[in-house]
């Protein structure tokens, strides 16, 4: 995924956030100063409390928007984006918009293509949080990656799991659990998700 290098300066970021006044978690500013969060355009619009945690790198493209005031379950929730470990990376391309209460967590790599819409209550993870073997249940499980194409529409309460690739323009129906590789220009749905029809 390519970006034009045009990072917002930390000083400009602080001024803009002072004007916005709310919904951007204060330690996010520290993460920008430490280059763990890289902005490729203006700061994202945060319509719900937005938390960026973790030791890895988060790249946010131009004109992104997190949370939606009229989207339901707006109050007392948050959008959380977490490149959890030092080598983890999350890339969010230009004009990505989320609804409320979205959780994106990478142990390795998650990429979200431009113009993608993400519904309320969506979870995207590139790893198993716990080991499959009962003896190692508290250890980190298998790690993969997630790649979501451009102009994808992800419905409410979707779960996207490790080793998932979703092609451009695809729609993921509400409540789907997605794992595997899927083409462009289709509708996915179900548990586990499968192609329902072509667009």
User: Three-class SS string for the chain?
Assistant: CCCCCCCCCHHHHHHHHHHHCCCECHHHHHHHHCCCEEECCCCCEECCCEEECCCCEEEECCCCEECCCCCCCCCCCCEEEEECCCCCEEEECCCCEECCCCEEEECCEEEECCCCEECCCCEEECECCCCCCHHHCCCCCCECEEEECCCCEECCCCEEEEEEEECCCCEECCCCEEEEEECCCEEEECCCCEEEEEC
Catalytic residue among 130, 139, 180, 190: 130
Q: What is the per-residue pLDDT across 141-170, written as a single tens digit (0 to 9) for each?
A: 889 999 999 999 999 999 999 999 999 999
Are the beta carbons of 104 and 90 closer than 8 angstroms? Answer: yes
As a whole number, mean pLDDT of residues 130-135 equals 84
Predicted confidence (pLDDT) per residue in 2-30, tens digit: 343 445 556 656 655 554 546 766 666 66
Tell whether the model's pLDDT for residue 35 goes beyond 70.
Answer: yes
Note if 127 is an active site residue: no
pLDDT at 46: 87
In the chain, where are the structural domains located?
10-198
CATH fourth-level superfamily of 10-198: Hexapeptide repeat proteins (2.160.10.10)
Which pLDDT belongs to residue 22? Answer: 61
pLDDT at residue 42 in the model: 76
Q: What kind and span of H or E run contains 11? A: helix 10-20
Please provide the average confidence, as pLDDT, over all residues in the chain: 87
- pLDDT for 17 equals 56
Three-state DSSP class for residue 71: coil
């Amino acid at each position: 995924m390519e970006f034009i290098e045009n990072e917002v300066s930390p000083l400009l970021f602080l001024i803009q956030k002072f004007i916005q006044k709310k919904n951007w978690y204060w330690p996010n500013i520290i993460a920008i100063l430490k280059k763990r969060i890289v902005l490729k355009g203006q700061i994202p619009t945060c319509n719900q409390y937005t938390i960026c945690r973790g030791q890895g790198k988060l790249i946010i493209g131009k004109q992104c928007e997190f949370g939606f005031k009229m989207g339901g379950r707006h109050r007392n929730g948050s959008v959380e984006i977490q490149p959890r470990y030092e080598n983890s990376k999350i890339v969010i391309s230009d004009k990505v918009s989320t609804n409320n209460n979205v959780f994106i967590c990478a142990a390795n790599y998650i990429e979200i293509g431009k113009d993608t819409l993400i519904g309320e209550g969506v979870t995207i993870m590139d790893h198993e949080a716990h080991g499959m073997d009962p003896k190692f249940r508290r250890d980190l499980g298998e790690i993969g990656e997630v790649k979501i194409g451009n102009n994808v529409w992800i419905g409410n309460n979707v779960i996207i799991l490790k080793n998932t690739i979703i092609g451009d323009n695809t729609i993921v129906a509400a409540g789907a659990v997605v794992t595997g590789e899927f083409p462009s220009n289709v509708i996915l749905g179900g548990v586990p998700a499968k192609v329902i029809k072509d667009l």
